Chain A
Amino acid sequence: MWNAVIGLEVHARLQTRTKIFCGCAVSFGAPPNTQVCPTCLGYPGALPVLNREAVELAIRMAIATGCTIHHRSIFARKNYFYPDLPKGYQISQFDEPLATGGSVNGIRIRRIHMEEDAGKLIHHGDASHVDLNRAGTPLIEIVSEPDIRSAAEADAYLTRLRQTLMYAGVCDGNMEEGSLRCDANVSVHREGEPLGTRTEVKNVNSFRFLRAAIDFEIARQIQVLEAGGTIVQETRLFDPNSGETRVMRSKEEAHDYRYFPDPDLLPLEIEEEWIDDVRTALPELPAARVARYQNEHGLSATDAEILVTSREIAEYFDAAAAASGNARAAANWVRNDVLRIQNERGACRLSAEGLAQLIRLIDAGTIGSKAAKEIFDEIATTGEDPRAVVERKGLAQVSDPAVIREAAAKVIERNTTQVEQYRAGKTQIFGFLVGQLMKETRGKANAEMANAILKEMLGG
């Protein structure tokens, strides 16, 4: 029996207006080398000045993951040469990070630290071009403990982590544009035996790649070990085309980054007051919402998870639930219909208040569920008030017992054969008779009342 041990290192780009150590704008897709200045180009004599907004976003994520924020942390220089790294060193936090010791989804967070991003190389034929727009973009690196046991758990962890980043307004979570990047450390060992040697798998920058890379790496390691081989500590690259990982560099080729405190920057001092201010301003986070939806509204874990997928949906649901006074109905509408419309049409124009109005119309017996669906499909595009549609289309259902009774009498009169069969014990014929009653009322009879009244009049 083999066990897998997995830890994730996630880089999240902070949603700041400007870069971490200079005033250049952070923007995706600008023409190459237009968002640059002497500092982020590493010009002689230029110096870094820490962006306070970046620190604030990092603090937000540290609070959101229950980390301890250190009142003093240190920026260090991580030294290596590469054309996308203008200074020849990356400014990053090393042995004194911003925050340590939190958790997400039951997976422990070892640390969260701040650092600057590098630029990008663009290869054209045999030439390589350097675009330094991204150089100096603020990042946080979130390092988990090796608490993850499977690709599915890794997926769930990254899902919650991404949600949390987005809820807290820390990162836009866009994996395609590289706002969120992930590396996985994977090892396997037999039940009851010591942990195995780990490999680091780079470039798992989508949920699908993450699962595929972990599954492949677990299977590869087991295969090597079962064949009597050994796993070597190395960095591997996931190739999305083949679905395989391959060696990028061995332990021997690993860089000696020669970290040391960056003398251009003072220690980062964070006062408790600042942390408190940030904490107060944080929105309710997805994990707390999932718990609340289950406890307060009695929703299933699955439904609750669907509703917290994004902060926008969760807040929409909260508003609809509060305004309608029927959280379960609001949950059903949101998870089934609002999300379906969003998928089909790109957006749902119906406000949470409008949805609540619709729910109230149903709960008051003004409209039936069939009419409600019809109305919803329309106002999801128009954003119209559901009451106006009910009015305009005459969709209000008939809940007057006298009117229903009159129609039922007609049905009984016209369908003597079926009525006799029913009274003789063939109760399944009841559905036919209800159908006739609905027809008689052009579908507007309150279905519940129609059932009860008909049953009563049939004498049984």
Chain B
Amino acid sequence: MSELLALPWHEARAEVSPREYLDACLDAIAARDGAIRAFLHVNRDAAGDGLPIAVKDNIVTTDMPTTCASRILSGFRSPFDATVISRLRAQNAAIVGKTNLDEFAMGSSTEHSAFGVTRNPWNLDCVAGGSSGGSAAAVAARMVPAALGSETGGSVRQPAALCGVVGVKPTYGRVSRYGLVAFASGLDQIGVVTKTVRESADVLGMIAGHDPMDSTSSTHPVDDYASELEEGVRGLRFGVVREAIEQLTGEVRENFDAALAVLRGAGAAVEEVSVPSISYAIAVYYIVANAEASANLSRFDGIRYGHRSSSARTLEDVYADSRAEGFGAEVKRRIMLGTFALSSGYYDAYYGRAQRVRARLRHDFSEAFRKFDFLLTPTTPEPAFPVGAKTGDPLSMYLSDIFTAPANLVGIPAIAVPSGFARNGLPLSLQIMAPHFAEKAMFRAAAAYERETQFWREKR
């Protein structure tokens, strides 16, 4: 059955019945997830003649708990399905389980989960990345053909990169956020993790489109994402972000250069381009995201649902104790940072200024896209790191998002595609960013690179 799960979904479903394929997934989870711990909940009764898919546990489902990997939502069950879940169900997808994440999607390693660390299938001593580490690991370990994750600053692409799979962050507004538990509403977007580019294109096509329940969802028509995957990149223009590659050293640099050579070899024009404000992206990201998070997480107050401290005696206690007991350290840190950034007297210096720099970043990207069809960086500055290596150093953890966060701040789509391996055998990844709503072209470019390299076929 492992052979079956190694195939892309569109090939595998020609081989066996939907039930057999789904059973293979459930068997694989039973066999492998004990060591990897990608799943927080598995639905052994999952049904559906279509795609078996895992869903990050910050996307609400009526038939399984939704915990956001937080004690404050331990055992919480949503009274409604997220729009993406409804769409998947309407297309007969089988929702096989809910995957682990950094608590409320705050982290880059899935170590900040209240329910345990997800391990990297390529090396169980290393992190899977995050925050959609469970989704990336589930696909990388071939337990499911596809998983949904969520992105705020790279939370799909970064773990996809660290686990050697494809990760897609669509244009902001392309996929409904209704039912995605908000981290930073202006940056959040549901994304897709699969083995191959084709599978990602197919899954995005299943979930994309306007949703009247989400005011920020776009009415822009949904393209047929898989329709040009074979077209190649001849004549397409790729801009290499100078400010990003200047920071690269060693084998990540070599791997990236090799990826550029592959694209050139396939007929693409590859040149350097400057995006001056990109250096500020991480600073801007951590102010904007945490500010929005500080408000988004206020609803977890112990009043209507979720954890309420049993020791609370006054209203003040209900808030303070429930939240103190329910939230983990990283979440608390971010709530405090975000609260500070919005405080009277500091708003202009932090949140206000961050939004102005963000506008600058948008401008710089749109300038770059006047000359280039795509922009390139590595997805991450380094391969997967050992569990525990960065938990004591939040700033170094935050820098894991250095190449991914800009796309969230600008709202453009981006894809992480496996680009080979470091000498320690861990995966590396190429990031391709495209203009707003240019997902179809982005998939085409990624598919061309994938076809030339075939790294996805490597065994883990």
Contact = CB atoms under 8 A, between A and B. Distances in A.
Given A42-B304, A86-B304, A263-B185, A49 B213 contact: yes
Contact of B351 (A43, A49, A260): A260
A264 B188 CA distance: 10
Interface string B127-143: 00000000000000000
Given A77-B295, A260-B351, A45 B214 contact: no
Interface string B281-322: 000000000011011011111011100000000010001000
Contact of B344 (A81, A88, A256): A256
B299 A265 contact: no
A47 B342 contact: no
Contact of B59 (A45, A48, A89): A45
Given A47-B177, A50-B215, A264 B315 contact: no
Given A81-B319, A86-B304, A258-B339, A45 B60 contact: yes
A266 B82 contact: no
A79 B304 contact: no
B179 interface: yes
Contact of A45 (B179, B215, B294, B305): B179
B186 A263 contact: yes
A101 interface: no
Interface residues of A, number: 30
Interface string A125-160: 000101000000000000000000000000000000
A33 to B, nearest CB: 10
A265 B215 contact: yes
B68 interface: yes
B255 interface: no
B412 interface: no
A32 interface: no
Contacts of B342: 79, 258-260
Contacts of A264: 182, 185, 215-216
A38 interface: yes
Contact of B315 (A43, A44, A83, A256): A83
A130 to B, nearest CB: 7
Contacts of B304: 41-43, 86, 130
A41 B59 CA distance: 18
Contact of B178 (A41, A45, A260, A265): A45
B60 A44 contact: yes
B295 A89 contact: yes
A47 B215 contact: yes
A49 B339 contact: no
- Greatest chain A CB density within 10 A among B182, B297, B298 is at B298
Contacts of A259: 342
A88 B298 contact: yes
A38 B215 contact: no
B67 to A, nearest CB: 10
A44 B177 contact: no
A215 B298 CA distance: 40
A127 to B, nearest CB: 12
A258 B351 CA distance: 10
Contact of B213 (A47, A83, A262): A47
A260 B315 CA distance: 26
A256 B184 contact: no
Nearest to A80: B298
A83 B303 contact: yes
Contact of A44 (B66, B291, B319): B66
A46 interface: yes
Given A47-B177, A256-B344, A87 B303 contact: no
A77 B80 CA distance: 24
Contacts of A81: 298, 301, 319
Given A38-B80, A44-B76, A86-B304, A263 B292 contact: yes
A89 B180 CA distance: 19
A46 B291 CA distance: 19
B347 A45 contact: no
A45 B295 contact: no
Given A47-B178, A258-B343, A260-B342, A86 B215 contact: no
22 contacts: A38-B80, A43-B80, A44-B73, A44-B78, A45-B180, A46-B179, A47-B215, A79-B294, A81-B301, A86-B299, A86-B304, A88-B298, A88-B299, A89-B295, A128-B315, A258-B295, A260-B347, A263-B185, A264-B182, A264-B216, A265-B216, A266-B216
Given A88-B301, A266-B216, 6 more contacts: A44-B60, A79-B295, A88-B295, A260-B291, A260-B292, A260-B351
